[in-house]
Amino acid sequence: MITQEKWEKLYERMAKLGLREEELSENFIRGSGSGGQKINKTSSCVQLRHAPSGIEIKCQSSRLQSSNRFFARRDLCDKLEEKVLGIKSQKKQEQEKVRRQKRRRSRRAKNKMLDSKHKQSEKKAFRKKVGEE
């Protein structure tokens, strides 16, 4: 359940971006994915369209229609900020970080890393007692 305070903060954020409720068209559609019979019978997925910018959001992150309405507006604000202010959203930054982490190392970086590991193993070898191997 989304509190009234959170809704008010969202409306303030929308006002700062110049986003008005009259500019939004909201449809409730049936969701997709897992959930069985319930998801096939209820229209809890929210489709939100901002007419001036043409941005369209579909939100099905919750089973509650009211929660999805909140989340869709929040996502719309994120997209508008990204488009208008040129700010990369927090999600995009996290995705980019993961992508960089998963990226393959260059040959030079790999050799450098293996070199340092080899030196470390040599240091450890010197720590052994005289009779051990």
CA 46/CA 34 separation, integer angstroms:
17
Average pLDDT of every residue of the chain: 88
* Tens-place pLDDT, residues 29-57: 988 887 778 888 888 899 999 998 899 99
The per-residue pLDDT for 128 is: 82
Q: Which tops the pLDDT comparison, 2 or 87?
A: 2
CA 87/CA 56 separation, integer angstroms:
19
The pTM of the full predicted model, rounded to 2 decimals, is 0.66
